[in-house]
Structure 1
Amino acid sequence: MPIFPPLARRVRFGILFGCALGLPLLAAAVPADQPAPRPGEKFRLAHEQLLAKAHAGRIDLYFLGDSITRRWGATDYPAMLAHWQANFHGWNAGNFGWGGDSTENILWRVEHGELDGVNPRVIVLLAGTNNLGLHPPPGAVDEVPRGIKAIIDVCRRKAPHAVIILTAIFPRNDSEAANAAIRAINPKLAAFADGRTIRFLNVNDRLADEQGRLFPGMTMDQLHPTVKGYEVWAEGLRPLLTELLGPRGKEDCAPPPTGEPIVDANGRAVSMTP
């Protein structure tokens, strides 16, 4: 089993109920820019599943993030998977999102093989909302960009020819404190873009009003997008992906989509959803 890093400069106590997993989660006392796995059998199984997916087909378009990314291309969300396939079939897209991940967890997954040897042409990255929760910890406005920059750096190291499309953190309807942090963080993320190897995509004005309140129909639970919300993201991505990948092909060689591993009450694997 992986060894968890020691406590470091950020210690966040308490339960954050606003994570993109949709369940209460004890916040990790780990810096956002230091790789850290999450405890539990489900995370381990998901990592194994994604390692296998990375080498199960051709991936030109690699999506990386938390559950906002994962649900778009997952077998356990069939309506969203149908929308994913309608938008990305022919671009050989692979989904490497995992629910509940903060930046440090995504960083750990990429550092531990999920991008090794894949060589995608484009990486779409959306991360950071789980570092905030309902009540962003002190220093989050500076720390989340450091975490995302660390993910960008490891992606550049492991896939040096890929163009990274860095997506602005989406607004959320469950916490004005989180939205205030998101409004402060996104300009810092935009500064990472160089217009060539790192592009910045911000669709938030099509998802939410000026106060950051998601428009009706955009979210299913105050945080995760509906198909209508994903369509806004797809519309923003489409011209960039067409520029970088060309028109979608008739055939698709991407790995089959995956779902959430199923574990019993004791945390033991029951099955891996297809």
Structure 2
Amino acid sequence: MSETAGTVFVGDSITASGRWDEWFPEDRTRNLGVGGDTTDAVIARLDEVVALQPDTIVLLIGTNDLAWRRSAEHIVRNIETILVTLRKALPGAQLLVQSVMPREAAYADTIKDVNRHLWQFASTVRAQYLDLWPVLAGPDGAIDPDCSDDSLHLTDRGYEAWLSELRGALETLHDVPPTSRPILLPKEHMRHRH
């Protein structure tokens, strides 16, 4: 019998460092976070995700693309490709795409641009969108220093902030059919872009 998973977490080192079994003990989790991964790298290993036949896929990817000076367009196009590929291969799975997390303030405009496109695109592939910007970003658009020591990786406080949003999003996701409306968490800050 092939190995299956309930909830698969796909991403880079931020996902890889998550204690998903501990945080979601009922969900038969699998951690497919790989340190240093870019959107291109995730596309290259989507077969691994599909092979697990998960009920739910939680995606967080894109911040390492910024370090490689990839454009917002490149990141958005690749994440859209990931979501389309997963939706075709796993038509019954629940998909949750998370906003790219803030990092140094210099990246804020690019990240906001990426996230706005992901928010708009998610519902076209029956994916839910979870906006993490409000709980992680400081007023200047940089990641809150309480949440990260290096403006990229999360501290324990950063994971707590992420989980405070992710738990509710997954509960909502598991209680609704995949064709329902996306979780629209980006409220005021999406309308008042600076």
Which TM bucket (shorter chain)?
Answer: 0.7 to 0.9
1:222 paired with 2:158, answer no
Aligned counterpart, 2:28: 92
Q: 1 CA distance for matches of 2:171 and 2:117?
A: 26
In structure 2, relative to structure 1, the CA distance for the partners of 1:132 and 1:70 (3 Å cut) is: same
Instruction: In structure 1, give the amino acid aligned to 2:80.
Output: K
User: Which TM-score applies when normalising by structure 2?
Assistant: 0.81
Aligned counterpart, 2:79: 148
**How does 1:162-181 map onto structure 2 within 5 Å?**
162-173=93-104, 176-181=105-110
What is the total number of aligned residue pairs between the two structures? 174
User: Which TM-score applies when normalising by structure 1?
Assistant: 0.59
Cα deviations across residues 33-82 of structure 1 (Å, max 9, x unaligned)?
Answer: xxxxxxxxxxxxxxxxxxxxxx55x411111111111111xxxxxxxx3x
Instruction: In structure 2, give the amino acid aligned to 1:160.
Output: P
Aligned counterpart, 2:89: 158
Return the structure number with greater relative CO, CA threshold 8 A, min gap 6. 1
Q: 2 CA distance for matches of 1:92 and 1:143?
A: 33
Q: Unmatched 5+ residue regions in structure 1?
A: 1-54, 73-80, 247-274
In structure 2, relative to structure 1, the CA distance for the partners of 1:167 and 1:224 (3 Å cut) is: same
Aligned counterpart, 1:266: none
Which structure has the greater CA radius of gyration? 1
Q: CA RMSD in A?
A: 2.0
Q: 2 CA distance for matches of 1:239 and 1:125?
A: 16
Aligned counterpart, 1:116: 50
In structure 2, relative to structure 1, the CA distance for the partners of 1:184 and 1:243 (3 Å cut) is: closer
Q: 2 CA distance for matches of 1:191 and 1:159?
A: 21
Q: Is the 8 A contact 1:136 1:178 kept in 2?
A: no
Aligned counterpart, 1:106: 42
Q: How many angstroms does 1:195 deviate by?
A: 8.5
Q: How many angstroms does 1:210 deviate by?
A: 2.9
Moved over 6 A (4+): none
Q: How many angstroms does 1:236 deviate by?
A: 1.0
Q: Unmatched 5+ residue regions in structure 2?
A: 176-194
Instruction: In structure 1, give the amino acid aligned to 2:85.
Output: V
Q: Is the 8 A contact 1:91 1:245 kept in 2?
A: no
Cα deviations across residues 145-165 of structure 1 (Å, max 9, x unaligned)?
Answer: 001001111111222211111
Q: 2 CA distance for matches of 1:116 and 1:188?
A: 24
Cα deviations across residues 124-160 of structure 1 (Å, max 9, x unaligned)?
Answer: 1111111111x734xx121110010011111112222
Q: Is the 8 A contact 2:21 2:28 kept in 1?
A: no
Q: How many angstroms does 1:185 deviate by?
A: 1.2
Q: 1 CA distance for matches of 2:50 and 2:138?
A: 39
Q: 2 CA distance for matches of 1:219 and 1:166?
A: 21
Q: 1 CA distance for matches of 2:51 and 2:72?
A: 33
Identify the structure with the greater helix proportion. Answer: 2
Q: How many angstroms does 1:239 deviate by?
A: 1.8
Aligned counterpart, 2:64: 130
Q: Secondary structure at the match of 2:123?
A: coil
Q: Is the 8 A contact 1:162 1:197 kept in 2?
A: no
